[in-house]
């Protein structure tokens, strides 16, 4: 039961706020030590897990107890630890991969950046830049371990979002779509596989599209998909009737996002559409799950911490589109956490 205005808050209310940082690190360290995978085949004692992970036995036992209390693990009368349903999400082969996401968010470089959130709010500068002297994307080039965690986390997010996009958005009105910032082609390959009459182009930097030929070939869609390298800040291939932006604009501030949209607008075919797939911050819309709204709000703060970007409200998206000569025409909710939508815009 929630507390009233005259009551003291309950532990269920104040623990996530006061000690969410601790829960984050308990899950992240458990994941990075490989404990969920070590427990995939059978339950193990703390000593057996210490041998398997190379961790200090006494300190590991204390972590295991905390992870058990947090709901990630269970322990039997013989002291053998096993995964709970929640803990199973942290296995590397889980279809819902919490491990890459948590391992990235709890990684030291990202953790340190979150520690500078106050300075970020006071100065208007990304916390990651304040701590490390450079932005996240520049930092990844010199930190292979974090880069691996970052890309694994992005892949885990896509594993949830792609089925929602292919099931929840109707692509039948398009003939040719360009996935702007499409990386290795995973996103567009899934869309083309689900829409056999559709053609596509993956557009990203030369480094970004390096693996795209293999991804498209493995998906069986290479004959319907081109690969073009370039920077969306310079130009975007012209002539398509659909331009897709999945989780792109939230990485950038309004000025940079406007530049991307300006370049798309200049090449947009007549009657073409821009489709942005993104979380959308709550503005008190009816029937919204408060936890979904909280998730989107946390993502917005994460963007403040690690990038120059931001999550946006529908009103802010309308304003951003209008600044580039576009008009928001349709908003489609998608079956995906956290207030995830397809936003369609046309030339104004």
The per-residue pLDDT for range 225-245, each reduced to its tens digit, is: 999 999 999 999 999 999 999
128 is a domain residue: no
pLDDT at 97: 57
257 is a domain residue: yes
For the CA atoms of 134, 139, 142, 145, what is the dihedral angle to 10 degrees? 150
Q: What is the mean pLDDT of the chain?
A: 92
Q: Which residue has the tokens 């427990």?
A: 39
What's the mean pLDDT in 49-72?
Answer: 96
Q: How confident is the model at residue 155 (pLDDT cuts 50, 70, 90)?
A: confident
Q: In CATH, what number is assigned to the domain containing residue 69?
A: 1.10.10.10
Question: Are 173 and 87 found together in one domain?
Answer: no
pLDDT at 98: 60
pLDDT at 62: 96
Question: Are 164 and 88 found together in one domain?
Answer: no
Higher pLDDT, 17 or 1: 17
Q: Which of 41, 70, 92 is the last residue of a domain?
A: 92
Helix (H) or strand (E) holding 319: helix 314-323
Beta partners for 83? 73
pLDDT at 7: 78
Q: Of 3-7, 228-232, 289-293, which range is least confident? A: 3-7
Statement: residue 333 has pLDDT above 80: yes
294 is a domain residue: no
Question: Are 56 and 167 found together in one domain?
Answer: no
Q: Which residues span the domain enclosing 77?
A: 11-92
Statement: residue 100 has pLDDT above 70: no
Task: Name the residue among 202, 198, 201, 190 with its Cα closest to residue 174.
Answer: 198
pLDDT at 152: 75
Helix (H) or strand (E) holding 199: strand 199-204
Question: Are 183 and 68 found together in one domain?
Answer: no
Q: Which residue has the tokens 């947090």?
A: 70
Question: Are 86 and 170 found together in one domain?
Answer: no
112 is a domain residue: no
Higher pLDDT, 39 or 17: 39
Residue of 105, 132, 187, 250 marked catalytic: 250
105 is a domain residue: no
pLDDT at 46: 97
pLDDT at 107: 82
What's the mean pLDDT in 70-77?
Answer: 96
DSSP 120-179: HHHHTS-HHHHHHSS-HHHHHTT-HHHHHHHHHHHHHHHHHHHHHHHHHS--TT-SEEEE
Question: Are 186 and 80 found together in one domain?
Answer: no
124 is a domain residue: no
Query: What are the tens digits of pLDDT across the range 162-214?
Result: 999 999 999 999 999 999 999 999 999 999 999 999 999 999 999 889 999 99
What's the mean pLDDT in 100-124?
Answer: 86
Question: Are 341 and 211 found together in one domain?
Answer: yes
Q: Which of 74, 92, 110 is the last residue of a domain?
A: 92
* pTM reported for the whole predicted model: 0.86
The tally of domains found in the chain comes to: 2
Query: What are the tens digits of pLDDT across the range 263-286?
Result: 999 999 989 999 999 999 999 877
pLDDT at 8: 86
Question: Are 84 and 166 found together in one domain?
Answer: no
Task: Name the residue among 97, 69, 94 with its Cα closest to residue 161.
Answer: 97
pLDDT at 243: 98
Q: Which residue has the tokens 């090449």?
A: 267
139 catalytic? Reply is no
Is-contact 232 203, C-beta < 8 A?
yes
What's the mean pLDDT in 147-174?
Answer: 88
Alpha carbon distance 106, 81 (integer Å): 23
pLDDT at 1: 46
Alpha carbon distance 158, 165 (integer Å): 10
4 is a domain residue: no
Question: Are 323 and 217 found together in one domain?
Answer: yes
Q: State phi, psi for 282 to the nearest 5 degrees.
A: -70, 140
Lateral strand order in the sheet of 80-83 = 44-45, 80-83, 73-75
Question: Are 166 and 273 found together in one domain?
Answer: yes
User: CA-based Rg of the chain, rounded to a whole angstrom?
Assistant: 22
Q: DSSP assignment, residue 180?
A: E
248 is a domain residue: yes
Q: Which of 92, 110, 127 is the last residue of a domain?
A: 92
Q: DSSP assignment, residue 269?
A: P
Question: Are 76 and 207 found together in one domain?
Answer: no
pLDDT at 101: 66
What's the mean pLDDT in 123-136?
Answer: 96
Question: Are 333 and 249 found together in one domain?
Answer: yes
């Amino acid at each position: 039961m929630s507390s009233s205005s005259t009551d003291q808050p309950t532990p269920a209310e104040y623990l996530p706020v006061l000690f969410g940082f601790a829960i984050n690190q308990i899950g992240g360290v458990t994941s990075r030590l490989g404990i969920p995978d070590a427990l995939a085949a059978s339950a193990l004692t703390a000593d057996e897990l210490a041998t398997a992970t190379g961790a200090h036995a006494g300190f590991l036992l204390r972590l295991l107890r905390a992870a058990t209390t947090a709901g990630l693990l269970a322990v039997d009368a013989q002291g053998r630890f096993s995964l709970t349903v929640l803990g199973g999400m942290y296995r590397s082969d889980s279809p819902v991969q919490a491990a890459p996401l948590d391992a990235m968010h709890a990684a030291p470089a990202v953790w340190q950046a979150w520690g500078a959130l106050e300075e970020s709010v006071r100065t208007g500068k990304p916390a990651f830049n304040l701590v490390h002297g450079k932005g996240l994307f520049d930092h990844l080039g010199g930190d292979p371990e974090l880069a691996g965690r970052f890309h694994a986390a992005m892949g885990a997010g896509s594993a949830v979002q792609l089925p929602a996009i292919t099931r929840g958005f109707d692509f039948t009105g398009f003939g040719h779509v360009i996935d702007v910032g499409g990386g290795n082609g995973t996103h567009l390959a899934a869309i083309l596989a689900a829409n056999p009459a559709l053609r596509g182009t993956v557009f990203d930097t030369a480094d970004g599209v390096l693996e795209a030929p293999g991804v498209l070939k493995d998906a069986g869609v290479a004959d319907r998909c081109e690969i073009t390298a370039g920077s969306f800040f310079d130009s975007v291939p012209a002539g398509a009737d659909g331009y897709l932006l999945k989780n792109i604009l939230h990485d950038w501030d309004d000025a940079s996002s406007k530049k991307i949209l300006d370049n798309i607008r200049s090449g947009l075919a007549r009657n073409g559409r821009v489709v942005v797939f993104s979380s959308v911050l709550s503005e008190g819309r009816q029937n919204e799950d408060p936890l979904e709204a909280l998730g989107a709000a946390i993502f917005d703060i994460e963007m403040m911490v690690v990038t120059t970007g931001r999550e946006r409200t529908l009103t802010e998206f309308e304003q951003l589109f209008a600044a580039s000569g576009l008009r928001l025409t349709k908003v489609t909710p998608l079956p995906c956490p956290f207030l995830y939508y397809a936003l369609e815009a046309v030339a104004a």
